């Protein structure tokens, strides 16, 4: 059974080269090791060459994964199997894309669930775990600064793993998506939104945020506060939009 990739995104207030460096070189300073590690409090994690290694306070080590593709400062991909053998390794890929002056949209895509004994359960476990991890990453001092200027985004929506055969509009969870769009409207962030008639189950929303704080919150809310996305009815991909001409 094929299981859909898991995507998580976060906006950080620095350029892509800094965002990449903080993820790669400073992972031990922000990773929530006490709750999301193999050895608990007191251990550390670091990229050791091409390996991602956790080291316990007593010297024990655990291999979390191995880098398979690195294109600094834009992309990094690695196998992923903390607490498990390499035969159950999934794959994590991150991209770092400039999202206006002094901001970077970091996108994490986790795939390869089919190697796990219960692929759907494994994906569900990480759905919340990556939210925690990227939240801690976004709070790291080097990426948590402020950046001036308005930010525009395209929110691309497609049918998610919980979409019924008769389509997303037939689901009782779909009104939650409309409620989320209304919330964006009430904040003054909604520019336009609606379905794409040539691609059933998909749609697009244009949104804008007044500043860096509002932009980071918008990216978070698109993934966590849209009830249809949280329920798996819809998948969302947030894309930064460099607007050069507008009458809005």
At residue 147, what are phi and psi to the nearest 5 degrees?
-135, 130
Tell me what pLDDT residue 146 has. 72
Whether 207 shows a pLDDT value over 90: the answer reads yes
CA distances from 76 to 56, 95, 110, 127, 143 (A): 25, 7, 12, 20, 18
pLDDT in tens, 40-88: 999 999 999 999 999 999 999 999 999 999 999 999 999 999 999 999 9
pLDDT in tens, 220-241: 999 999 999 999 999 999 999 9
Give this prediction's pTM: 0.92
In percent, the amount of the chain with pLDDT more than 70 equals 99
Poorest-confidence range of 19-28, 38-47, 56-65, 141-150? 141-150
Which string of DSSP letters, residue by residue, matches 102-157?
T-EEEEEEEE-GGGSSSHHHHHHHHHHHHHHHHHHHHTSTTT-----S-EEEEEEE
pLDDT in tens, 155-189: 999 999 999 999 999 999 999 999 999 999 999 99
Whether 4 shows a pLDDT value over 80: the answer reads yes
Whether 247 shows a pLDDT value over 90: the answer reads no
């Amino acid at each position: 059974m094929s299981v859909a990739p898991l995507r998580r995104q976060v906006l950080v207030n620095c350029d892509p080269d800094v965002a990449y460096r903080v993820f790669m070189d400073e992972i031990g300073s922000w990773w929530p090791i006490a709750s999301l590690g193999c050895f608990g409090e007191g251990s550390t994690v670091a990229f050791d060459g091409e390996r991602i290694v956790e080291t316990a306070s007593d010297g024990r080590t655990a291999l979390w994964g191995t880098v398979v593709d690195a294109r600094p400062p834009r992309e990094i991909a690695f196998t992923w199997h903390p607490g498990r053998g390499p035969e159950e390794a999934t794959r994590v890929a991150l991209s770092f894309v400039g999202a206006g002056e002094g901001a970077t949209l970091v996108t994490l895509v986790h795939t390869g669930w089919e190697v796990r004994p219960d692929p759907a359960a494994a994906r569900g476990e990480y759905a919340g775990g990556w939210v925690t991890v990227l939240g801690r990453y976004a709070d790291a001092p080097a990426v948590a600064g402020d950046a001036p200027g308005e930010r525009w985004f395209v929110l691309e929506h497609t049918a998610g793993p919980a979409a019924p055969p008769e389509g997303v509009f037939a689901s009782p969870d779909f009104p939650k998506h409309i409620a989320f769009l209304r919330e964006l409207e009430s904040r003054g962030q909604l520019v336009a939104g609606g379905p794409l008639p040539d691609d059933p189950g998909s749609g697009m929303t244009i949104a804008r945020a007044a500043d860096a704080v509002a932009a980071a919150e918008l990216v978070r809310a698109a993934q966590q506060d849209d009830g249809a996305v949280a329920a798996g009815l819809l998948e969302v991909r947030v894309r930064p939009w460099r607007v050069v001409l507008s009458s809005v």
